[in-house]
Amino acid sequence: MTAQNRLEQLREKFGAAIRRTDFPADNRLFVHIAPAAVKGICQYLFKDLGARYVISIGTDDRPYSGNFLVAHTFAFDADHLLCSVLVELPADKPSLESISEVVPAASWAEREMQDLVGIEPVGHKYLKRLVLPDGWPQGLHPLRKDARWDDVPTGYSDDRELTFDDPPEGCMVVPFGPFHPTLDEPAHFRLYVEGEMVRGCEYRGFMAHRGIEKLAESVMSYNDIPMLAERICGICGCVHSVAYTQAVESAAALKPPPRAEFIRTIMLEIERLHSHLLWTGLACHILGFDTLFMQSFRIREPIMWIAEKITGNRKTYALCQIGGVRWDFTPELKVELRQTLDKLEAEWRPIVNAVSGDTNIQKRTRGVGVADKKLVKSVGLVGPVARAAGVDMDCRRDHPYAAYDRVDFNVITQNDGDVWSRLLVRLQEVFESIRIIRQCLDKMPDGPLQLEIKDELPIGRIGLSSIEAPRGESHHFVITGENNRPRRWRVRAPTYQNLQGVPMMIKDQQIADMTISLGSIDPCFSCTDRMETIDLRSGAAKVWSQEELLKLAQARNRS
Amino acid sequence: MNRAMAWTILSGALNVAAVLLLAPLFQGILRKITARIQSRQGPPVWQPYFDLLKLLGKEDIESGETPAMQRFAAYLSLATVLTLACLVPMGVAAPMNGAGDVILLIYLLTLSGICTLLAGLAAGSTYSLLGISREMMSMISLEPLLVVVLITGALHVHSLRLDSVLNGSLYSGGGIPWSGLVLLGVMLAAFQAFVQRVPFDISEAETELMEGPLVEYSGPKLALFKYAHMVKLIIYSALFASLFMPWGSHLEFPMGWLLFWMKVLGLVLLVTLVAATHARYRIDQAIRYFASLLVVAAIGLVLASYGY
């Protein structure tokens, strides 16, 4: 169905509530609606039309239109369509009916909206703080335009301890994190444990906020932000950088030259290769199988080397700018990349065969951390977690970007939805990535790397971009703005949705399965925690007081 | 003081010195081979000595809830395994042969598990409590296996004396030693669990429980525990060698002694290989595994009581 058909379906039912529509391209649909109809329309999209929930964004649009703006974004994967439902809210009363009752996947996004922009989701069942620490003063919303990016508010106390819910009766609390050997980054799960069984958990994360979005929309420019976006994550940085660039390009209706698109595709797949190999290693380490952990990392290493040869860096590629890429492939590099891929394929196949037949690993992963199709739909799980549950979904095919529409590959799915299925999906996806890169090398046309952009980018346009990161769909939302920078940039990493499913996956399982269940979504807390300004809760506090650190940081910022 | 007594003291000291000196070396070999299997360079085989020295030289921080008990557990742990070293023949006859029998041996082996329990209790953290609950569960299901093996040996030789039982007694039934072979299989299958290595390092499970009972230990006391852990590998290997691989134990001092340590090295290599090719089991899976082994062991005991 086309965007036009989908719009007609909406018109038929909610004609009166639709104020304005906009479809800038075949694969994008923006519907501006009256606030009162938001829950009904979202329910219709999500439940009746079978759309997949992507993300909700709240933004302070007061300086430009005098209103607050909320966008609920849904995806029609089979139609290759991203659809945003936009609502304008009056400046004096920014509140909107919550949709999380009908779309459970929206729960976090709405809590975040309340924390950062101060848009109240009326009727949300669990409005505890998500992003802001408990010591942050009430009524101060950092993503509002009148909040300065470098301000530490008066009355902020960063030693205030987090408040937690009461555990259910008869359960012991096992704190998992903020620091734990299998968590590479801080995040806190309070597990409610009965004997060895996990009965529930509460998640408090967002402990390493870096204020990336605020920084971007306050002080950086369009072409700086890809570098910043890349630093959101140490594993899938290139994904964020490409996703942001594509979101801006989609807003400004720019199309990079074909050679640039192929180069982006290759680098994204190289990133997937190293990420999947890294994950396989870490998962084995979590299971206590260190031999495979070491072998995975050994096989992975040449990928890092070839990435360094192409871009100058093992990991942070600095690849994208608006309308193109910065690195080219020489013929020698192409030959070397092919050799690396051949070696990788030859070394990876025996590993896949060994793992696929290993009963020992199956014992620890089969039936563990199960997320079925129903959970995938309701919480909006993405990537290998969704594909392992038999949900045939892959942004590379469903929302083609870069050069993915010109290469041939399979979307790997499994049916059990457990950790074992996720393992199999990732093991096989490595071969698909190798196939994609080889095709790209064959088909890459000659030509420029960069589109010539003569005019200023248009202002106030919305751009969406979904990219299949190694961990699932990474979605970026951009509203273009003045001063050569976006007004609003919202990053939704795959872990943002996948983490919301973890409490359901680990319920009524052994505590020993907690680490691998969490590990199986390949959680990336830095992606999830990307926003906000404060975190000084570091171990260094013994040497430096937090105030001293703060002063030091501020002095450096201003110099 | 007669000659026998002097020999007892001397061989006891020899055993204790040997395990203390060689345990880190075997650990080093284990680490080196593991590294090779994993395509790594690996640390030098002397590394465990340096590790222990380093830990022994560190500041002694007592961060648990009951430091006195923590201290006691650490000392007791090493003391227990060293006492065991005097009871188990290691290429020379069991030095303190007359001082105890196999029942004492069983108690001492249990005691070294109790030390872990005490350590975990003293630390008082949630993870250490989870660790000791796992430790206890596996101890309760593992200990009977060893008891069955020792009792079978005792049945065959009609004695509980250490030097009789710990000298290939399992094969001394009439004709083909069926019970001995059954129990050999059982012990081989459970050996990894007795020495607490992957896939049965469940109670410490670094990636799940952050070393479990040892979570609050650091510095010298951690060194004592680590040392005890390394020595344990030797003690169990020695027990296994004496029970199931008695060949050559009657040889004169240097030869028999060397042969014994070769056997231990063989067992350490076996442990290394198994550890490098397995993922950790969950506690419920492990217990089920031990339970099935116990059933097989019981069959062995029945066979032994009928003289097979």
Degrees (nearest 5) of the Cα angle B67, B73, B79?
140
Contact state of B279 with A294 under an 8 Å Cβ cutoff = no
Taking Cα atoms as reference points, which of A170, A115, A228, A232 lies closest to residue A474? A232
Distances (CA, A) of B31 to A292, B38, B46, B50: 16, 10, 10, 14
Give domain status of residue A137, yes or no. Answer: no
CB count within 10 Å of CB A346 equals 10
CB count within 10 Å of CB A299 equals 21
Name residues whose C-beta falls within 8 Å of residue B48's C-beta, 6 or more positions apart in sequence.
B24, B25, B27, B28, B31, B230
Give domain status of residue A313, yes or no. Answer: yes
pLDDT at A546: 56
Residue type, A385: V
Kindly state the percentage of chain B with pLDDT values over 90. 10
Domain ranges of chain B: 14-305
Taking Cα atoms as reference points, which of B118, B283, B80, B112 lies closest to residue B213? B118
Structural domains of chain A, count: 2
pTM of the entire structure? 0.85
Last residue within a domain, chosen from A88, A112, A128: A128
Do A492 and A216 contact (CB within 8 A), yes or no? no
Give domain status of residue A144, yes or no. Answer: no
Do B80 and B154 contact (CB within 8 A), yes or no? no
A239 and A108 in a common domain: no
DSSP string, A457-519: PPSS-EEEEEEEETTEEEEEEEE--STTS-SEEEEE-HHHHHHHHHHHHHTTEEGGGHHHHHH
By Cβ distance, the residue of B126, B127, B279 closest to A289 is B279
Do A7 and A29 contact (CB within 8 A), yes or no? yes
Neighbouring-strand partners of residue A88: A69
pLDDT greater than 50 at residue B230? yes
By Cβ distance, the residue of A288, A360, A511 closest to B207 is A288
- Rounded Cα–Cα distance for residues A283 and A265 (Å): 26
pLDDT at A534: 32
Contact state of A288 with B199 under an 8 Å Cβ cutoff = yes
B174 Cα to chain A: minimum distance (Å): 39
Among A residues 357-386, those touching chain B with beta carbons less than 8 Å apart: 358, 360-361, 363-364
Do A488 and A480 contact (CB within 8 A), yes or no? no
SS3 B289: helix
Give domain status of residue A533, yes or no. Answer: no
Q: Which structural domain, as residue segments, surrounds residue A327?
A: 212-528
* B-chain residue closest to A510, CA distance: B282
Q: Report the CATH number at residue A477.
A: 1.10.645.10
A494 and A386 in a common domain: yes
- Rounded Cα–Cα distance for residues B271 and B30 (Å): 8
A484 and A377 in a common domain: yes
pLDDT greater than 80 at residue B308? no
Residue type, B15: N
Contact state of A181 with B206 under an 8 Å Cβ cutoff = yes
Degrees (nearest 5) of the Cα angle B276, B220, B9?
85
SS3 A529: coil
B211: left (phi over 0), alpha (psi -120 to 50) or beta: left
- Rounded Cα–Cα distance for residues A147 and A62 (Å): 13
Structure tokens at A17: 């509530």
Last residue within a domain, chosen from A128, A153, A171: A128
By Cβ distance, the residue of A180, A294, A358 closest to B38 is A294
A491 and A355 in a common domain: yes
Name residues whose C-beta falls within 8 Å of residue B283's C-beta, 6 or more positions apart in sequence.
A196, A510, A512, B134, B137, B138, B202
pLDDT greater than 80 at residue B239? yes
Do A491 and A232 contact (CB within 8 A), yes or no? yes
Q: Which residue has the tokens 């906020």?
A: A209
Neighbouring-strand partners of residue A70: A58, A87
Do A498 and A473 contact (CB within 8 A), yes or no? no
- B130-188 pLDDT, tens per residue? 888 888 888 888 888 888 888 888 887 777 777 777 776 767 765 677 777 888 888 88
Last residue within a domain, chosen from A128, A152, A170: A128
SS3 A167: coil
Give the torsion sign (CA, A531, A537, A540, A544): positive
Distances (CA, A) of A132 to A72, A124, A136, A158, B221: 22, 17, 6, 11, 41
Judging contacts by C-beta atoms under 8 Å, the chain B residues touching residue A511 are 130, 208
B17 Cα to chain A: minimum distance (Å): 33
Would you give the distance in Å from CA A247 to the centre of its chain?
A: 14
Do A428 and A352 contact (CB within 8 A), yes or no? yes
Contact state of A182 with B207 under an 8 Å Cβ cutoff = yes
Cis previous bond, B199, omega within 30: yes
Q: Is A461 on the interface with B (CB under 8 A)?
A: no
A413 and A292 in a common domain: yes
Taking Cα atoms as reference points, which of B11, B15, B25, B14 lies closest to residue B230? B25
SS3 A55: strand
Contact state of A290 with B127 under an 8 Å Cβ cutoff = no
Name residues whose C-beta falls within 8 Å of residue B47's C-beta, 6 or more positions apart in sequence.
B28, B31
By Cβ distance, the residue of B202, B277, B285 closest to A363 is B285
Neighbouring-strand partners of residue A200: A192
Would you give the distance in Å from CA A243 to the centre of its chain?
A: 10
Judging contacts by C-beta atoms under 8 Å, the chain A residues touching residue B130 are 174, 196, 511
A231 and A108 in a common domain: no
Contact state of B199 with A512 under an 8 Å Cβ cutoff = no
Question: What is the DSSP secondary structure assignment for residue B97, as one 8-state letter?
Answer: G
Q: Which residue has the tokens 């290429």?
A: B91
Give domain status of residue A133, yes or no. Answer: no
- B211-228 pLDDT, tens per residue? 777 877 888 888 998 899
To the nearest 10 degrees (0 to 180), the angle between helices B102-123 and B67-87 is 160
Per-10-residue mean pLDDT of chain A, 559 residues long, equals: 87 89 88 92 92 92 91 92 93 90 91 91 88 85 88 78 80 80 77 84 81 88 91 88 94 93 94 92 86 90 94 90 92 93 94 86 87 90 92 92 92 91 92 94 93 89 92 92 91 89 86 79 70 35 51 59
A220 and A110 in a common domain: no
Q: Give the side-chain half-sphere CA count within 13 A for B278.
A: 19
- Rounded Cα–Cα distance for residues A85 and A120 (Å): 17
A444 and A351 in a common domain: yes
CB count within 10 Å of CB B110 equals 15
Give domain status of residue A497, yes or no. Answer: yes
Question: What is the DSSP secondary structure assignment for residue B101, as one 8-state letter?
Answer: B
ipTM of the complex: 0.80
SS3 A307: helix
Neighbouring-strand partners of residue A33: A18, A87
Q: Which residue has the tokens 């064959």?
A: A442
Does residue B304 or residue B109 have the better pLDDT?
Answer: B109
- Rounded Cα–Cα distance for residues A218 and A205 (Å): 25
Give domain status of residue A151, yes or no. Answer: no
Span B104-112, average pLDDT: 88
Structure tokens at A292: 């495979």
Give the torsion sign (CA, A304, A310, A316, A319): negative
Q: Give the side-chain half-sphere CA count within 13 A for A201.
A: 28
Q: Is A515 on the interface with B (CB under 8 A)?
A: yes
Q: Report the CATH number at residue A110.
A: 3.30.460.80
Give domain status of residue A95, yes or no. Answer: yes
Structure tokens at A192: 């409610």
Q: Give the side-chain half-sphere CA count within 13 A for A308.
A: 6
pLDDT at A381: 92
By Cβ distance, the residue of B39, B127, B283 closest to A295 is B39
Contact state of B208 with A515 under an 8 Å Cβ cutoff = yes
